[in-house]
Amino acid sequence: MDFTIVHELPRRIRLRSGRLLDPCLDVNYLEALLGAVSGVSSIRVNVRAQSLVVEYDGSSRCRDEIMALLSSIPVEAYLPDVFDEETADPVRLAMRGALALATPFLNRGVAAPLTWLNGAPVIANGVETLLMRGVKVEALDGSVVLFSLLRKDFVTANMIVALLGLAHFMEQRLEHNATSLLKSLLRPQAEDAWVLRDGMEVKVPFAEIVPGDHVICGVGEQIPVDGMVVDGEASLNTSSISGESVPAHTSPGDDALSGSVVEEGRLVIEAREVGSSTHLARIGRYLESSLRYRSKSQRRTAELADRLAPATLGLGLALFLLTRDIRRSASVLTVDYSCALKLATPVAVRTSMYAAGKEGVLLKGAHALEAFANVETIVFDKTGTLTTGDLHVTDVLPAAGTELDEDGLLSLAAAAEEHYAHPVARAVVLEAEARGLALPALSQVDFIVAHGVAAFVEGREVLVGSRHFIAEDEGVDCSPLDDLAAELRGQGKSLLYVASQKRLLGVLALRDSVREEAAETLAGLKAAGVRRIVVLTGDHEQSAASLLEHLPQIDEVHAELKPEDKADIVRELSEKHGNLAFVGDGVNDAPALVTADVGVSMPQAADLARESAAVVLLREDLRCLLVARETAMQSEKTMTHCFGATLSVNSIIILLAMAGATQPVLSAALHNLSTIGILSYAAASGLRATPTVKALRSKDSTTMETADAPAHDVD
């Protein structure tokens, strides 16, 4: 079963292996793995000939990687419930159709061998399926053609073969179109890029770009890296990433994501992430995963379809034994439930995912759609989700008896927070910069996740964080500022305590704003069947309660939480209130995202949060949650309609066949036409029913402000 070299040229190698005949091997996935090897230019696979041809750059390094990969194919390339189907050939289909139309006018001596030759592949496929996989639809098709040939009914045999080919071709086209729609959310990665090297613009292969390179992108070019614009201005089309059709103006200092296309202007981008670590590559992995794995409902539907095939065969044989009418029996056998039941769901899922993606929602597969449609409780992490996360310092209050004034306290806190990439830290540093303060020298810093920062500033330890961190963990007396702290919290502000040498130096007050679309979104979720909305935060109880004044749709608030508490609460709420979704954006949210039935990540979430989530919002707009919810519900409704239509229509055709009201050709035609119709409905329904964010926008939305307290920094 190993791959052996049949023929080799300097830049081309042909291999052969019986592994390619393994029905569980996902050949498309194997091609993708080989295509990811740097230097490989093309791959051609011929399963029946057990042949694989790879063209590459001729380097020994690339050849060694190809052979190493083929000698140890990863386990994820094998899917036990995937069987490779022969691609429908339009030329063969046309020949079968022509033969079916010509058969009534041919001499029987000519028609007989042509018909046996035409029907032999269908019969052989049925026998192979029966022996390898049991009674499936292919076995039914083969038996009908064989019965017709044994009765010397060559017209019926050829018509059924032609109808089977037409149905197979249409089904593949519909599924292919649905998959292509989903993949069209991504543009192919650029093969080459212009990079500044030693002051010169040099064209280099994409694989040779490294972090820190300055990549040049002009009009019509796709940005191949994630990074920051260091020079130039441009209008970027980000539709392949966010679904937003309006070009975004980009200038120095702005982030640039791979997959964006320069419509006007020219940019020089300092590469931060390259290759498989880019934003576009991560989305590509999500989509690849979504196409390869099925949800529970898909598996149940496929299992039902497999169970119905033996029942149909048994019914046909029983009818023949009772009536001795092989025509009636053949009419029954031409009808099966399998095609529509197995294909309608993936077609509906893929078109729904495409439509949602165009509106800024990335759903990671059928399981995400299924789970989000059944969500009854949605839990929000407060920071960066219901609020904008754009904190700003409102008050700088030194403690009584300290030698520091406002600027001194602020500069000390900013020095400790300067290297911490968190909204609270950014707010403090930005306020210091706005006041033109020079920051003291920093010699050492430790980030205590979920609590704050411990740093050595000008030789003395400085602690910055929540009251819990300063008072309970570090033993600093914070009581002198308790009355002032209560007053600030009552104003909807969050507090950041600063201490040194076991002494409280003062407190900073910060404020965040509730997203202007938050109230509208929560109301829409309630209208869409979500029964309970819960908020988790590290805020003090008093600060957290102020959120209810702006968002009365919230049913429950849990405050003063540590990150590890969130996952526990999510688990408890799930057990108590049924299916649950968690919406978050931080590294600390990853355990809760995984614990929930559906994890939802905000656009600017940490990488770990995005990887952990089943749903990723691609726009900074909470209304995308409504898009996801309504898309998921409509997808479920579409699949239910397809399921009901498949059972009812095919059952009616079977009853007509049993009553002798239809001939085998008519039964086959009715069955195949109904299958194509059901698949067409599944494809169109997802595209038509997904709401747009623009349609959901409220004209009278207003900005509301409330306190915010990230669980690891502030009180």
CATH number of domain containing 486? 3.40.1110.10
What pLDDT was estimated at residue 283?
Answer: 58
What pLDDT was estimated at residue 434?
Answer: 92
Is 570 a member of any domain?
yes
| Percentage of the chain lying above the pLDDT 90 cut | 13
> 4 exposed, middle or buried (CB, 10 Å; 0-12, 13-18, 19+)?
exposed
Handedness of CA 466, 470, 474, 480 (dihedral sign): negative
Task: Return the closest-CA partner of residue 496 out of 380, 405, 416.
Answer: 416
423 and 365 in a common domain: no
Is 199 a member of any domain?
yes
Is 705 a member of any domain?
yes
Q: CA 462 to CA 455: how far, in whole Å?
A: 5
Q: CA 163 to CA 675: how far, in whole Å?
A: 12
Q: Where is pLDDT greater, at 267 or 284? A: 267
380 and 409 in a common domain: no
Q: CA 617 to CA 85: how far, in whole Å?
A: 35
One-letter identity of residue 201: E
First-last CA distance in the chain: 63
Q: CA 712 to CA 715: how far, in whole Å?
A: 9
Q: CA 98 to CA 109: how far, in whole Å?
A: 18
231 and 261 in a common domain: yes
Where residue 530 falls among pLDDT bands split at 50, 70, 90? very high
Is 263 a member of any domain?
yes
The helix or strand, by DSSP H or E, that contains position 135, with its residue range, turns out to be none
* Cβ count within 10 A of residue 125: 15
What pLDDT was estimated at residue 435?
Answer: 92
Which three-class secondary structure state does DSSP give residue 389? Answer: coil
Beta strands in 588-686 (DSSP E): 598-601, 615-617
Q: What is the DSSP letter of 613?
A: -
47 and 28 in a common domain: yes
pLDDT at residue 591 tops 90: no
Tokens representing residue 148 in the block? 């017709």
Domain with 45, as residue range(s), is 4-77
Tokens representing residue 405 in the block? 């004034």
Tell me how far CA of residue 94 lies from CA of 40, 97, 142, 664, in angstroms.
36, 5, 20, 21
Is 17 a member of any domain?
yes
Is 266 a member of any domain?
yes
pLDDT at residue 630 tops 70: yes
The helix or strand, by DSSP H or E, that contains position 171, with its residue range, turns out to be helix 154-183
What pLDDT was estimated at residue 39?
Answer: 79
Tokens representing residue 593 in the block? 């995202």
On whether the CB atoms of residues 634 and 690 are closer than 8 A, the answer is yes
DSSP string for residues in 328-382: HHHHHHT--SHHHHHHHHHHHHHHHHHHHHHTTEEE-SHHHHHHHHT--EEEEEI
383 and 447 in a common domain: no
* Cβ count within 10 A of residue 238: 21
Q: CA 496 to CA 427: how far, in whole Å?
A: 11
- Residue 283 sits at the vertex; the CA angle it makes with 278 and 286, to the nearest 5 degrees, is 130
Is 152 a member of any domain?
no
What pLDDT was estimated at residue 55?
Answer: 92
Kind of pairing between the strands at 261-265 and 580-584: unpaired
456 and 348 in a common domain: no
Task: Return the closest-CA partner of residue 168 out of 146, 137, 192.
Answer: 137
Which three-class secondary structure state does DSSP give residue 421? Answer: coil
Q: Where is pLDDT greater, at 343 or 563? A: 343
pLDDT at residue 237 tops 50: yes
pLDDT at residue 576 tops 60: yes
Alpha carbons within 13 angstroms on the beta-carbon side of residue 623 total 15
DSSP string for residues in 13-41: EEEE-GGGG-TTB-HHHHHHHHHTSTTEE
Last residue of a domain, one of 491, 512, 533: 512
520 and 656 in a common domain: yes
Mean pLDDT confidence for 23-32: 78
153 carries an active-site annotation: no
Handedness of CA 568, 570, 573, 579 (dihedral sign): negative
211 and 356 in a common domain: no
CATH of residue 270's domain is 2.70.150.10
Per the structure, the count of domains in the chain is: 4
Which residues lie below 8 Å from residue 321, measured CB to CB, with a gap of 6+?
none
651 and 602 in a common domain: yes
* Cβ count within 10 A of residue 459: 8
Tell me how far CA of residue 497 lies from CA of 172, 320, 505, in angstroms.
63, 86, 8
CATH of residue 630's domain is 3.40.50.1000
Lowest mean pLDDT among 287-301, 306-320, 351-365: 287-301
What pLDDT was estimated at residue 450?
Answer: 52
Which residues lie below 8 Å from residue 150, measured CB to CB, with a gap of 6+?
none
Whose tokens are 């519900």? That residue is 633
Mean pLDDT confidence for 569-592: 82
What pLDDT was estimated at residue 713?
Answer: 40
> Burial code of 408-426, b = ≥16 C-beta within 10 A, e = fewer?
bbbbbbbbbbbebebbbbb
656 and 580 in a common domain: yes
701 and 603 in a common domain: yes
pLDDT at residue 506 tops 90: yes
Which of 153, 306, 336, 381 is the catalytic position? 381
Task: Return the closest-CA partner of residue 507 out of 487, 538, 485, 539.
Answer: 485
684 and 551 in a common domain: yes
Kind of pairing between the strands at 598-601 and 580-584: parallel
Last residue of a domain, one of 77, 96, 128: 77
Last residue of a domain, one of 457, 482, 512: 512
DSSP string for residues in 250-270: E-TT-EE-TT-EEEEE-EEEE
Is 689 a member of any domain?
yes
Which three-class secondary structure state does DSSP give residue 103? Answer: helix
Where residue 244 falls among pLDDT bands split at 50, 70, 90? low
Which three-class secondary structure state does DSSP give residue 456? Answer: strand
- Rounded mean pLDDT of the chain? 80
